[in-house]
Every structure is written in C-alpha cells, then in structure tokens.
Structure 1
C-alpha cells in the first residue's frame, strides 16, 4: 500500500516538473507600446535575441537618474533570459531572469532589471539596440 502511494507521488512530481519545464521553455519576447498600454508584438525567443540582450547587459555604464523612469510614450521590450544571467557591477549583484529595455520617444533607451528580491534597477548602457530591433523585425 505504501509502495503504491509513494509511486503515485513520484508520478505526480514528474508530471509537475514536466509542466513547469514546458511553461518555462515557451517564454516569449514581448513588445509593449507604453502610450497604448498594450502588447503590440510577441516573438519566440531565440539564441540571437538572447545574445543581443546579454551584450546590452554587459554594456551597463550608469544608473538612470530620473524621478519618473517610465516614460509616457515609447516602447518596452521584455526579454526572458534562458538561462538566467548573473549581473555583477557596482550597482547590482544578482541573477536576472529577464531584461526590460525601455525605449522612450526621442531619448536614448535604457534598462529595467529586477534582482532576486524583485527590487527594480534602471540602468543606462553604451550599446546600440539596432541589431536587437532588426532581429525582432521592429522599427521605431
């Protein structure tokens, strides 16, 4: 009897892990129009998108010094990182599982990252986002 119960728990555990893995592997890149407050495009992530996001993260050069860092107009691109990426600099030391690129209208883009405790960080970076936009087939 105990053997059957234990075997049932193992099956349930394996099925739950399978569902979790499938849900994580179907992560998409989302493009949000800030003014409309709606997702205008969804793209399945791929290694090229992941690479472009990692390049941008490595080029963090300062913190955003704005009282209101989320603009009224522009776009936000949410990129899930698979696997998570360790970010280590003088402002943050955390494992990041997604990058949000904020593209304000008529300003340079910047990043929004969340640490392990869900604390938000806004960073400027010294990298072009054109390769990423081209990969996403999106133009401003």
Structure 2
C-alpha cells in the first residue's frame, strides 16, 4: 500500500515538472516601449495571435527604405512563430521563427524579419494590426 502511494506521488511529481518545463520553454510575445527601451508587457502566444501574424506576413508588399528603420518613439511587438513559417517573396526566402512588428509614433507599422543568415529585413504590409492589438489587449 505504501509503495503504491509513493509511486503515485513520484508520477505526480514527474508530471508536474513536465508541465512546468513545457510552460517555461514556450516563448512569450513581448511588447517593447522603444523610448523607454523596456519590455512593458509579455503575453503567452496563442492560435489567434499566430493566425494574425501569418496574415501580416502574407501581406508584405514593399521593402522599407529608411536609413534608420528603428524609430525613437513607438512600440515593437516580438511574436514567436510556432511552428516556424516559410516566407517566399521577391525580397526574402527564409524560414522565420519570429517576427517583430514596429509601430512608430504617427506612422504606419512595418515588419522586421530575420533571414536564414540572421540578416535583418524591413517590410511594409497591407494588413491592419487592430485585430492583433485587440487579441493582445493592447491599445496605442
């Protein structure tokens, strides 16, 4: 009887550790205030966010041609992609495991992706980010 109880406690302990490790390894979405240079919010990723992120990637329409693409004021949203997403267009052909949406103050948002060689690429897109912001419970 004692062995059964002890064995069930060991199983429970192992199961709880597995759940905790899984939760810790899943990357979170991070919201960065550019001016303050700090992460102001973290949110666990979810299927709705993944759907909105993929929609934005599919709507890439131009390359950002700025000398300084990171603004002084605004926000950046880093979204891990699970699973990684293959991006194929005339500017980039890569497997992307995260995307960063840059939201400058008083400008349209744009996208930062890193290719397979970790080279940064900035793109505009023709998709609204309001559904994503609503899902993240974030307002500008």
Is the aligned partner of 1:32 residue 2:28? Answer: no
In structure 2, do the counterparts of structure 1 residues 77 and 36 end up closer, same or farther at CA, with 3 Å as the change threshold? Answer: same
**Equivalent in the alignment of 1:11:** none
For 2:114, the equivalent position in structure 1 comes to: 114
- Counterpart-to-counterpart distance in 2, 1:111 and 1:28: 18
Residue matched to 2:126: 126
* SS state at 1:61 partner: strand
Structure 2 partner of 1:103:
103
Partner SS for 2:82: strand
Normalised by the length of structure 1, the TM-score is 0.83
**1:77-132 C-alpha deviation (Å, 9 max, x unpaired):** 00000000000000000000001000000000000000111000000000000000
When Rg is computed on C-alpha atoms for both structures, the one with the higher figure is: 2
Alpha-carbon distance in 2 for matches of 1:40, 1:53: 20
Runs of 4+ in 1 over 6 A off after TM superposition: none
Cα deviation digits, residues 54-91 of structure 1 (max 9, x gap):
00000000000100000000000000000000000000
Task: Classify the secondary structure of the residue corresponding to 1:69.
Answer: coil
Closer/same/farther in 2, CA of residues 49 and 56 from structure 1, 3 Å limit: same
User: What is the aligned residue count?
Assistant: 121
What residue in structure 2 maps to residue 84 of structure 1?
84
Give unpaired runs (5+ residues) of structure 2: 1-17
1:22 positional shift: 3.4
